[in-house]
Amino acid sequence: ASRNDCTIDKFRRKNCPSCRLRKCYEAGMTLGARKLKKLGNLKAQEELEGSPSQGDGREMTPNMSLTQLEGYSCQPIFLNVLEAIEPVVVCAGHDNNQPDSFAVLLSSLNELGERQLVHVVKWAKALPGFRNLHVSDQMTVIQYSWMGLMIFAMGWRSFKNVNSRMLYFAPDLVFNEYRMHKSRMYSQCVRMRHLSQEFGWLQITPEEFLCMKA
């Protein structure tokens, strides 16, 4: 039975998923993740700057015009944080000169997932309030959300880069209809493409995407 002390190296990294995730999590804590200071004052500052002036004793009423409402905007502090910590786009290391096959495509997807997982951990650790959680809770959150986060981000890349016509896993790994079939997970690919199409149908902005992802 695992005692959470398995040796994780290049040749044995897939023997114990639990220990591999723990090592990746620990690496993500020290790979230069941006340290956000004074996050405890974030909410208070937003409330102070975003609240309407009370000097005239007036309150907003439901009868305010759309033009007046448009003058009120959320303070961009939290959004600035999300923009600053958004991970870079990672390449899969896929060789597009070799013939597509189930084994080749799956291997490239696995490699891409491992590379992206490190960035997901770093991103999560930089989220306001995440470090306030107990370490075990932090790991649990990542364990249950990393796949969803990767798919959500991939859907956005597909929408922005190829207009949701294909699945933009990485700059060097784009799935067209042929690759969807060759991967033996065509139905899953169709659902992921549908997610990407939803971004266009709903006219999601980059700022809205960042907030939805967080």
What digits encode the pLDDT tens for the residues 97-109? 999 999 999 999 9
Alpha-carbon separation of residue 157 from 38, 106, 126, 150, 197 (angstroms): 32, 20, 22, 10, 11
Q: Is the pLDDT score of 188 beyond 70?
A: yes
What digits encode the pLDDT tens for the residues 66-79? 454 454 455 588 89
Provide the pLDDT for residue 184. 95
Q: Is the pLDDT score of 145 beyond 60?
A: yes
Alpha-carbon separation of residue 95 from 74, 82, 101, 179 (angstroms): 45, 32, 12, 14
Q: Is the pLDDT score of 1 beyond 80?
A: no
- Cα–Cα dist 150/57, whole Å: 48
Scored b (16 or more CB within 10 A) or e, 18-36 reads: ebbbbbbbeebeeeebeeb
Provide the pLDDT for residue 26. 63
Q: Is the pLDDT score of 42 beyond 60?
A: no
Domains and CATH numbers, the chain: 78-213 (1.10.565.10)
Provide the pLDDT for residue 76. 80
Confidence of residue 196 (pLDDT cuts 50, 70, 90): very high
Question: Which residues are 168's β-sheet partners?
Answer: 174
Q: What is the pTM of this model?
A: 0.67
- Cα–Cα dist 48/11, whole Å: 54
Helix, strand, coil percent content, the chain, rounded in steps of 5: 60, 5, 40
Q: Is the pLDDT score of 52 beyond 90?
A: no
Question: Which residues are 167's β-sheet partners?
Answer: 175
